[in-house]
Each structure stands twice: as structure tokens, then as C-alpha cells.
Amino acid sequence: MVSKESCRNEIRAAIGQLSERCLHSAAKWAGEQLVGIEQDPSNFTPSNTRFQRGSSSIRRRFSTNESISTPQPSVGFSQAATPLPEEDEVIDGDLYHLAKSYFNCREYRRASHVLRDQMSKKSVFLRCYSLYLAGEKRKEEEMIELEGSLGKSDAINRELVSLERELSALKRTGAIDSFGLYLYGVVLKEKGNETLARASLVESVNSYPWNWNAWSELQSLCTSIEILNSLNLSNHWMKEFFLASAYQELRMHTESLAKYEYLQGIFSFSNYIQAQTAKAQYSLREFDQVEIMFEDLLRNDPYRVEDMDLYSNVLYAKEACAALSYLAHKVFLTDKYRPESCCIIGNYYSLKGQHEKAVMYFRRALKLNKKYLSAWTLMGHEYVEMKNTPAAIDAYRRAVDINPCDYRAWYGLGQAYEMMGMPFYALHYFRKSIFFLPNDSRLWIAMAKCYQTEQIYMLEEAIKCYKRAVSCTDTEGIALNQLAKLHQKLGRDEEAAVYFEKDVERMDSEGLEGPNMLEALVFLATHFKTHKKFEEAEVYCTRILDYSGPEKEKAKSLLRGIRMEKTGFPSMDMEHFPL
């Protein structure tokens, strides 16, 4: 069992080792988890009160009432004995420090050149890593030169072949460490050899589990639960972080939340865990909880930009214009040239209906990071609003190229083709989106509408889709209304009455009125009178009397008919008397 102090000591050592190899993002991630471990109360000083149990913590706010059982903070994690790697026996000396300086100044080729004759594992890794990043930098330059900042290009990293040759030779001779295995996995992944890449990355994380970059690369190669379950991973507490993140990417949000709740037993104040929990809740459309979580996160980390674009999506969905304006202004002052900042500002302009400005900021985000998935998808949404369907389709396709599992981009493509009056294409893309998110009622409703179009007109298939939407908790009530209408259209009045009744119950519970309510009441009143269920018919007729228009007159006529049939006397209207 692992104690908090053991985790703390491991992470402290790992931060130094990761920073020494210029793996700065992995070191930053490790540092965030380090301060996320709850401190011993006896060690509290005024400078670290942020970590006291009584301070603001989303864990206290949400996890106490959850059905998922949360371990007590004293609970540890079972793991395999994984020693911290020993530093190279040979002291790298001044050349390594010079190479690090060049690397930190983004002079990657100079860093690689300085270490050309150094043979220690640490020097070999930094040399190869510098060469890899130099190739990536040149690839980006070629793409801009050939196609512009947002254009498509066949430019490749020209260092991959030589790096694969060298790293594979080192692996065969056993002269490679866990960091070299990580880089070898990255190179293999870039070259499309996913099976070997997974094997190399698994070997890397098993021998050195504290490199979050390696876990992230491995996660990107786990595109199905079958692949994930096939991995032979050592039982280290870092594996729990990996599984939680992998489950989230595979849309297994309940399982992901359970893992994060478990990890909070030790990492009680981790901002990373709080942000990931908010992401999972966002996917479950729990917007109120997500908003509170992000507010709490910003109080603890007021200059955070990472993940705040997701927060802006929540504010956009809730139409919280003032809060979104404040967030956009805040990130603009903090770091306006971050892709996340540009997306937040784009969302703000979109909510105000200024779609051209929104597109400008989404394009700016993509110039900063061409693979920024959210920006492509959001830009597609803006083009749909601007009725620029070809541009929307291009944006959504670029999003799909980056992540073929992104249901939003597939759904956007379906909407775009639906706007163009091409329901067969739309149906294909809606099916794709449903494959990746089968529990979203909106996607089933969209597919049902395609089946209802004149070109396809498969009403039975539409009914099946609407039934799935109802089972997926259609909060807008579209599915129930459509099911009632479709059964009415097909002459199945009994089934139509069942769904109209359910729809009336839903609208009553939500306090809704309107044409859908009136339509349901008229149908039910007529249906029950026809089937001589006079008490039910009278209830619905009486409710119709509260409305104005021809429906009110019809309700009066139905009531007269009901009374006549119940009493057995003919109506006293003049038209019933013979002349």
C-alpha cells in the first residue's frame, strides 16, 4: 500500500528527472499532482492554507452525496515495486547543460549538434528528442509555406526515418532507457506503426511510470476498450490516472468519474482531477455542476487558461452572457495568444450573434494550434449559422481528420448536409455520431428527422429512432410529440393516445403550454369520446376550454355530444329538428 508521503517523495524526484530531460509539460503535470496531495495538518503554515481540509474543495461539495464510494484519504494504492531510475554514472558535464540551454531557447538543431558525441542515455535522449522537435518545427514551416497557416499539406517530419533507425538499434542492444522508449513510441506512432508504438510506450511506462507524456501518447493509441484491456500495465498508482483519462476519451464517463473519486483519496486538492471531473460531468450534460466546479477551480487557480474553453462552452449553452464576457476579458488579460483564450473569445462573440468575429477568433486559435479540435468544430458551427455550408463541411472534416471519434464533428456534418437537402448523406453522418455517442437523444432525433423526409420516408425507422431518444431522456420532449404524431399519421390511434398522454404529463410537470399541448388535448378528447371513455374525454375538453380559437368551439361541441350520449336525449340544437 502506498502512503501520501511515498507518493509525494516519488513525484518530487520525478519532477527533477523530467525537467532535467526537458519534458516540461510532464514536469508541470507532476508538480500539479504534488501540491494536490493533502498535507499533514501538523505541517500547516499560513502560506499553505489553500490545502487545508476546510478550504474550498469541490471534493467536499460533490462527492459526499455521490453513489460512487470514495475512499478515505488514508487509503493507499497497491502497486508493483518500481524503483526510481538511477542517473547515468557518467557525468554529462558542461555540454549537456549547454544543450539544455539551446533546447529551452527552441534551438533544437544546435542542442542536438552539441550532444553528437555524448553516449550517456540521458544525452542520447535529449539529442534525439531535440532532433525530433527540429523536424516538427520544420514540418510546420513547410505547411505554412506551401498551403498557408490553415491549409492542408503532405509535409512530414524528415527526421523520423533516421530516428527510428537509431532508436530501434539502441533497443535491440538494450542501450535505451524508459525515456528513449517513450520517444521511440512517439516516432513509431508518427510513422503509423501503432502496434509497435503501443508496445514501446507500455514498456516505457512500466519501467518509469511518472512520465505523463508517455501515458498521454499511449492513451491516444487506445481507440477502443478492447485495445485498452489488452495492455499489460504494471499496477502503479499512475495507472489509475491513465485509466481515468482513457475511460473519459472512450466516453465511459461513469467509470472515469469512479476512478477520479478513488484518486481523490490521496490527491484531494488536485486541480487536474477537478478539471477532468468537470469534463466528465460536461459530457453527461450536468451543466449546473460543471459551472460550479469551474468557478471553484478559478478561485483556486485564478490565472488558469487550460480547460477554460470547456467552461466557456457551458456558459454559452446556458446563455450566461455576462459570465462569458467576464471570462473572455480575464483570459484576454492573462494570455490572449493561447488557443483556449481565442476559443473563449470566439464563443463570446458567437453568443452575441457576431458570427464573423467569432470565426476570426477561431481561425486565430487554429493558427496557434492547427490540431486544436474544438476550434475546428466551433468554427463549423459558426459557418452553419452564417449559412456558409461548404466552409462548415470543410471545418467539420478537418475536425474528423484530427479525431475520428469526435461525435460533434460527425453530427455537424450531418446538419450541414441536412441544410443542403441531402438527407441520405446526413443520415450517414448522424449514424457515425450515434456510434460514438449512443446515449444522446439529440442525435437519435436528428436521425429520425432524416427518415421522415420525402426522399427517404421510412416512418417505421423514424419511430424506432424516436423511441431510442425517449429512452435516452429527451429533455426537450420532441420525441414523445413526434411519436404521437407519427402513430396518428399511420392510423394507430391507441399508440398515438399513449404518447400524447405521456407528452401532456411531461408538459404539466414542466409547467409548459403552447400549440403542442393544445394539439395533444384535442386529440385525446376526441379519441376518448370516440371510444366512449366519457370521463377522460370530459377532463381534456374542460382543459381545452381555457384556450381561445376554434379548438374551444370544438371542445364545446364534444361536450354536448358526450352529454347527449350519456343521457340518451338528443341535442336541442335546431339542426336536429326536421323541417
Question: If pLDDT is split at 50, 70 and 90, which confidence band does 411 have?
Answer: very high
CA distances from 166 to 125, 138, 204 (A): 11, 20, 17
150-196 pLDDT tens trace? 666 678 889 999 999 999 999 999 899 999 999 999 999 999 999 99
Q: What is the pLDDT of residue 546?
A: 84
| Res 330 pLDDT > 90 | yes
Q: What is the rounded CA–CA span in Å between residue 491 and residue 67? A: 45
All residues at 6 or more sequence positions from 259 whose CB lies less than 8 Å from its CB, including other chains: 240, 243, 244, 247
Q: What is the pLDDT of residue 280?
A: 92
According to the per-residue pLDDT averaged within each range, which of 96-100, 504-508, 517-521 is highest?
Answer: 96-100
46-68 pLDDT tens trace? 545 444 444 444 444 444 344 33
Question: If pLDDT is split at 50, 70 and 90, which confidence band does 576 have?
Answer: very low
CA distances from 82 to 206, 234, 241, 302 (A): 8, 9, 17, 36
Q: What is the rounded CA–CA span in Å between residue 219 and residue 201? A: 10
Q: What is the pLDDT of residue 17?
A: 94
Contact 481, 503 (CB under 8 A): yes
Question: If pLDDT is split at 50, 70 and 90, which confidence band does 149 have?
Answer: low
Identify the residue whose cell numbers are 340518451.
Answer: 568
| Res 89 pLDDT > 70 | no
Q: How many Å is the Cα radius of gyration of the chain? A: 30
Q: What is the pLDDT of residue 75?
A: 45
Q: What is the rounded CA–CA span in Å between residue 385 and residue 357? A: 13
Q: What is the pLDDT of residue 56?
A: 43
Residue range 77-88: mean pLDDT, rounded: 51
Q: What is the pLDDT of residue 269?
A: 92
| Res 570 pLDDT > 60 | no
482-506 pLDDT tens trace? 999 999 999 999 999 999 999 999 9
The enclosing H or E element of 96 equals helix 94-104
DSSP state of 38: P
Residue range 24-36: mean pLDDT, rounded: 95
Average pLDDT, the chain: 86
Domains and CATH numbers, the chain: 285-382 (1.25.40.10)
CA distances from 571 to 147, 368, 557, 566, 576 (A): 82, 79, 11, 11, 7
| Res 30 pLDDT > 90 | yes
Residue range 73-81: mean pLDDT, rounded: 47
pTM: 0.81
Q: What is the pLDDT of residue 329?
A: 95
**Of the candidates 68, 25, 82, 73, the residue with the CA atom closest to the CA atom of residue 270:** 73
114-126 pLDDT tens trace? 999 888 999 999 9
| Res 439 pLDDT > 90 | no
**Of the candidates 490, 466, 494, the residue with the CA atom closest to the CA atom of residue 478:** 466
Q: How far apart are the first and last CA of the chain?
A: 100
Q: What is the pLDDT of residue 284?
A: 85
Question: If pLDDT is split at 50, 70 and 90, which confidence band does 436 have?
Answer: confident
Report which of residues 475 and 9 the model is more confident about: 9
Among 235-239, 378-382, 549-553, which stretch is predicted with the lowest mean pLDDT? 549-553
Q: What is the pLDDT of residue 560?
A: 87
271-286 pLDDT tens trace? 999 999 999 999 888 8
Give the angle 259-263-269 at the CA atoms, nearest 5°. Answer: 130
